[in-house]
Structure 1
């Protein structure tokens, strides 16, 4: 892994302190479109307390093999234009060398038509803003079955209390990344939507081609720098299509938020094999408490995170998450994993966020070598420093 540069981070922090606190930088108005620039810089640290496997193994990832890892996680720059009948977005992550949202949205009242690359309509956590993730690593369900950005065309509608999106998509815009053409949709309903009192329900479904007729489900143990996956199906061959169905719920009451999702994914195999289809599932539930009293907003079927009421003191959050994954479906024995994550977040002023997470992992997977189930129960300490505008 490429190491982040302390000098680069120092320059970024100095620029942030010198600049006025704001969420975006206004550039110009061109043909009625208000053009602005947004950015996100994240630096993470992971400390691994291993049990059976070495979560930061030196091979094949090329890590140093130590029980800690420090790296730049994201370095995103996003150019946006808003105004009139069209909004447009062009984003790039210099750390991952890939395009982010790159699309044009044609607004037709509350309806819209969108072309380009955008997040596909599944997974509430994936659709939420990365800069306001409630935990450092997204839940296993999201990382396993959430389809993120793909190029395509979408039609949707967003009102204060309900909305939907249907989408047809292909590959990811950046070469050699996600592929597999498909289609899907999401519908959400918020029967309660008032300041400090929100109740949200949603369902989603995606159906798409597998990549090169092979599918592999595996996920890191809620630690983005881990090089080892404790649950892993291995390559499932002679596959045809993947169908993922999701259900989501969220409740906000003043300074409290409870959010949960369930995702199940079925891999259909071709007639060329006698092996049966494979189904895996994953879910999470978490609670978040704004200790300083702020509440959340709600837009387009996702929660929006507020600025601190007292910028100098900042906004403090305490969170607890439980997530579980089951990748066993005979004859495939990918394993089971259950994680408990405790998190503390501090939003300071308008441009900074600091996070600390402790993850306790409980996993079990069949070993063909030992011919028995092997338990592996490590723990991980994580930290993140974030600057955004």
Structure 2
């Protein structure tokens, strides 16, 4: 897809007027609404070291590398009139709408609100965290596979500084031909420890939705977003009815250190086959080498600006992912092996990385990911192990 050059040029020119201490452009006050303009540009490069599968086998460049403008997000936000907030977001790269909704804050308290439109559904700590401040270039395998993203719907939320409860009813994505299937989601968070420089966060979420076309497919890349091959894959699951996902969250913030973990358990109800179950988790840690502490608001962590803008903020990060898409067995004793159930495969991925935030608007990231997967192959007549790795780099500009 070719990006609209006029849209991106306008965004870049507007961003040049961003003062160093602010992250958005103030536009005007219209009809009692304070309007601001925000944006995010991300350019990625992936270099693959293949083992069995060619991770970018569909590439036209003939190399084991991929380069792509990942995001070109343009966002208008409004505060007011009164207790109303609104947002209209669009990704010019993906050609789809982002958050596009109205929110009413009861009594002016952002913790108690009613929201309508397209928004991220209440599930998954990593999914709800800001895209521009994700700890790693690729989200965790389980987040990409199981977490719900933006959908059209209605949500009600309430809470205080140390707890929150949000429920929603949703349908399809606002942009046609993307995610669909109506359902419900609920997320609750509690911080039993919340004091200056130290937070312990606990969270639970539940989502249940119609698979709509009665077909579902769960699969995952080896934590490299530009890879065209998935090493674990359930295949097309037909006669599916609904998918239910339960998520558990744990996060500990202490000064410059952030430790985070999530677990997902998913179950798919099927008409003519036994129900299909899958699961996974990740564990991660991030350390601000330059000493900046983390924030916490609305049940998600926040990343502050560098203490010394000229030298910037440095982070070291490490993560371990595990996903299991197997829910069946294979009889290898038969003349022709027979699979009972679904053997989508298992995969572990180690990722290490470094991030550098410079001043208020720039970030560079470098990640190294090592995958270890095993999946049954009928053509090979057994399980195939694949252990590729990749180097990933990102340049980011935001305002």
TM over 0.5: yes
Matches within 5 A, 1:236-385: 236-270=237-271, 273=272, 275-330=273-328, 331-385=341-395
In structure 2, the residue matched to 1:31 is: 31
Task: State the 1:206 CA deviation.
Answer: 0.4
In structure 1, the residue matched to 2:85 is: 87
The two structures, once aligned, show a CA RMSD in angstroms of: 1.9
- Residues 233-253 of structure 1 deviation map (CA, whole Å, 9 limit, x = unaligned): 100110000000000010000
**More divergent stretch after superposition (211-220 vs 10-19):** 10-19
Contact 1:189 1:201 in 2 (8 A): yes
Task: State the 1:191 CA deviation.
Answer: 1.5
> CA distance change for structure 1 residues 205 and 27 in 2, over 3 Å: closer, same or farther?
same
> In the alignment, is residue 98 of structure 1 matched against residue 96 of structure 2?
yes
> CA distance change for structure 1 residues 118 and 11 in 2, over 3 Å: closer, same or farther?
closer
- Residues 268-295 of structure 1 deviation map (CA, whole Å, 9 limit, x = unaligned): 001xx1x211001110010000000001
TM-score of the pair, normalised by structure 2 = 0.92
Task: State the 1:12 CA deviation.
Answer: 7.3
Distance 1:278 1:215 in 2: 11
In structure 2, the residue matched to 1:185 is: 186
Distance 1:118 1:220 in 2: 25
Distance 2:149 2:225 in 1: 16
Contact 1:169 1:181 in 2 (8 A): yes
| Paired residue secondary structure (1:329) | strand
Task: State the 1:195 CA deviation.
Answer: 2.8
Matches within 5 A, 1:95-174: 95-109=93-107, 110-174=111-175
Contact 1:47 1:67 in 2 (8 A): yes
> CA distance change for structure 1 residues 376 and 5 in 2, over 3 Å: closer, same or farther?
farther
Contact 2:18 2:24 in 1 (8 A): no
Aligned residues: 382
**More divergent stretch after superposition (92-101 vs 109-118):** 109-118
Contact 1:56 1:63 in 2 (8 A): no
Task: State the 1:63 CA deviation.
Answer: 3.8
Distance 2:76 2:219 in 1: 33
| Paired residue secondary structure (1:154) | strand
Contact 1:4 1:72 in 2 (8 A): no
Distance 1:3 1:47 in 2: 23
Distance 1:196 1:251 in 2: 10
